[in-house]
Structure 1
Amino acid sequence: MARIGVLLMAYGTPRSLEDVEAYYTHIRGGRPPSPERVAELQERYRRIGGRSPLFEITLRQAQALEARLARLALGHSFRIRVGMKHSPPFIDEAVAGLLEEGIERLVAIALAPHYSRMSVGAYHAAVREALARRSAALPVAEIRGWGSHPLFVIAVAERLKEALEDLPRQETMVIFTAHSLPARLREEGDPYETELLDSARRVARVLGLDHWRFAYQSASATGEPWLGPDLLEVLEAIARQGEARHVVVCPIGFLADHLEILYDLDVEAREAAEGWGLSFRRTRSLNDDPLLIETLMALVSEALAD
């Protein structure tokens, strides 16, 4: 019986308003943000209750996956750890813990379904660095883009179907969203945008949707162009052109509730939509939904079968 380590990786989040500055400094590669920017970010967290639930949700995902793998009886024993990119427990710490438990193989999954070298690629690079730092040589399965996995597509489609249930289809626009990244990725041949659009098309096909668009959200002010169109611009265009009376935002690029969902969509985008006279609805996040756990279980099982 092999001892398999499964590492679930997420972006990270401050646990309190006092942690915001350290968290943001880490994101900026050690460069402290201005006091004004810290205060602005803290205010966003205040608007969603003072903190993001991302860490607790990720732990629930890990616990549910561990229980599901135990029931599957694949002939292995599993050790599941959570590692965050920008807040404790960091990926390095999680890898160290798995090695201490004597794992013989590692399956690394970023909890972001669509691959970009700047996002998912960075998570896997952190895993490789953590292993190299400890001179650990063991087989590693890096799960890259999995936004086209049939179970993920079904899970998103179920959430979207629920959100659309009592709305008139011809008067409703579905907007799939994902976190924007620098636009230079398009020229570099990064698969992020292609994978996102493929996921959206698959979900739309399952539900027979004709009336949908894709937009990006949560771009950072870095002084360079980011992928668009931006969600707020799309909402304005829909209202001005009279394309719909209702909008349902489906953040297909995200799995769990966190700041980009609870503030950027539920506060900022909602206020913008309603300001343009549109009714606004968001699909519920997958969080630790059983269908998502089944997807993660399938990813682990398929990786071990290779």
Structure 2
Amino acid sequence: MMQRPRAVDPASPTHTRRGEATPFDAILFSSFGGPDGQEDVIPFLRNVTRGRGIPDERLEEVAGHYRALGGRSPITAQNEAMIAALEQELARREIDLPVYFGNRNWAPYNADAVRALHADGHRHALGLVTSAYSSYSSCRQYREDFGMVLEETALAGEVSIDKVRVYFNHPGFLEPVVDSLGRALASLAVQGHDAERVAVLFSTHSVPTAMAAASGPEETRVEGSGGWYVEQHLAACRWVMDQLHDDSPELPDWQLVYQSRSGAPHTPWLEPDVNDVIAQLAADQTADAVVVVPIGFVTDHVEVVWDLDTEAKETAQEHGLAFRRVATSGENPRFIAALADLIQERLDADFPRRVVTDFGGTPDVCGVNCCVGRMCRPTTSALDSAQDVERARAEAVTAGTSS
């Protein structure tokens, strides 16, 4: 089990700052995107890596993951199913907001969604993204993309887009993980695997260590903490295991591991890699089985299906270890309800927030220099001006509630 230094007190305004209730009139459901067929794979990867000068020969190495799955990423269909379920949940709550679907890297693009919502007469969109944690790539980059889309569409003065808070600590995101992990452990127990011989590996996307260190507001930076990105994952893992402890006094050891590393070999990224850990467990003869929990992901997209269901599973099999992979929260009704909660939080200042884990809450509005670093590209003027306005609103609300 990995422990790191903690940053700011969870009760501080850095964690609890709320935005002003806003009369949003549309939801922009934004995701990463994925190819729809074999001919889309390389163009999609060019979009993902644009500006980095990576030749197609290198992109083909990653393209093989998509091609092995028929060239079509499951992420689009998964997002469409989530949107359909969310629309039903919003209707049940009598929240009359249309949901528009846009992606950062493939059709339907965010720009298309913004043009559509504008054409339909909407002016204040709330951005709901398929990423639960704080970091540049999982939070700030979405905000930057919203700002660039407003400039690209020449709608920066007419349309506003605010992003919901990161939601790794909403019970609707974590409770389905608890249940799925419990079932996986129970199935191993039925097959005769003792808890002390099972290793639980919570897996998330590796990022450059510089990006991790810069995650979260500037005032939260603590040497060696791994930033909010690592802290939030560890808090989520602890909470999941604590819930299991209520029913199972004897639990296996666990640790946070990483997957899907990319980039130059000389650039430090978060470690250890899930495959390396599985191999080491076998070499040390400390486990007979592994349960991999994709705690850092929302749906079973390619990085889960390929990196875990294919590569990690093969590594376990090669070393004679039983293998289980826990499902992501995805279309689970509790997670869909959590997404509706995130929307309702921003519509109604009195709507109660559901927050678990010892990390504390997460703010509606990013703090000063939040999730920046040398890996980050400059922010746009549309983003900066919108962020300044929203931060001023939040500070006013915080001042009002604390007086």
Would you say same fold, with TM above 0.5? Answer: yes
Single out whichever of 163-172 and 244-253 deviates more from structure 2: 163-172
Alignment of 1:1-306 (within 5 A): 4-30=25-51, 33-74=54-95, 77-132=96-151, 133-137=154-158, 140-168=161-189, 169-188=195-214, 189=221, 190-208=227-245, 209-223=251-265, 224-306=267-349
Distance in 2 (alpha carbons) for counterparts of 1:58 and 1:186: 27
* Alpha-carbon separation, structure 2, partners of 1:161 and 1:4: 40
- Partner of 1:247: helix, strand, or coil? strand
Relative to structure 1, is the Cα distance of residues 280 and 210 closer, same or farther in structure 2, using a 3 angstrom cutoff?
closer
Q: Please state how far the C-alpha of 1:139 moved relative to its aligned partner.
A: 5.8
Query: What one-letter code is carried by the residue in structure 2 that aligns with 1:79?
Result: P
Pick closer, same or farther for the CA change 1:237–1:91 going to 2, 3 Å. same
Q: In the aligned structure 2, how far is the partner of 1:303 from the partner of 1:163?
A: 36
How far is 1:22 from its partner?
0.8
In the TM superposition, residue 5 of structure 1 has moved relative to its aligned partner by 1.0
Whole-Å separation in 2 of the counterparts to 1:49 and 1:138? 38
Q: Structure 1 234/26 Cα, relative in aligned 2: closer, same or farther at 3 Å?
A: same
Asked if the contact 2:78–2:330 (Cα under 8 Å) also holds between the matched residues in 1, the reply is yes
Residue 97 of structure 2 aligns with an amino acid whose one-letter code is F
Which segment is superposed worse, 30-39 or 85-94? 30-39
Is the Cα contact below 8 Å between 1:171 and 1:245 reproduced in 2? yes
Higher strand fraction: Structure 1 or Structure 2?
1
- The amino acid of 1:179's aligned partner reads H
Residue 12 of structure 1 contacts residue 54 of structure 1 at CA under 8 Å; is this kept in 2?
A: yes
Instruction: Please tell me whether the aligned partners of residues 40 and 71 of structure 2 are also in contact (alpha carbons under 8 angstroms).
Output: no
> TM-score by structure 2 length?
0.71
* 1:21/1:33 contact within 8 Å kept: no
* Range with bigger deviation, 234-243 or 161-170: 161-170
User: Are the equivalent residues in 2 in contact too, given 1:3–1:102 (CA < 8 A)?
Assistant: no
Residue 267 of structure 1: how far off its partner (Å):
0.9
TM-superposed CA distance for 1:47, in Å, is 2.5
**Residue 217 of structure 2 aligns with which residue?**
none
Q: Which fold has the larger relative contact order, with Cα–Cα distance below 8 Å and residues 6 or more apart in sequence?
A: 2
User: Which of the two has higher C-alpha Rg?
Assistant: 2
CA distance in 2, matches of 1:163, 1:48: 25
Q: Secondary structure at the match of 2:25?
A: strand
CA-CA distance at 1:43 after TM superposition? 2.5
Count the aligned residue pairs: 303
Q: Once the 2 structures are TM-superposed, how far is the Cα of residue 33 of structure 1 from its aligned partner? A: 4.2
Q: Distance in 2 between matches of 1:90 and 1:258?
A: 18
Instruction: Note the C-alpha offset of 1:31.
Output: 5.4
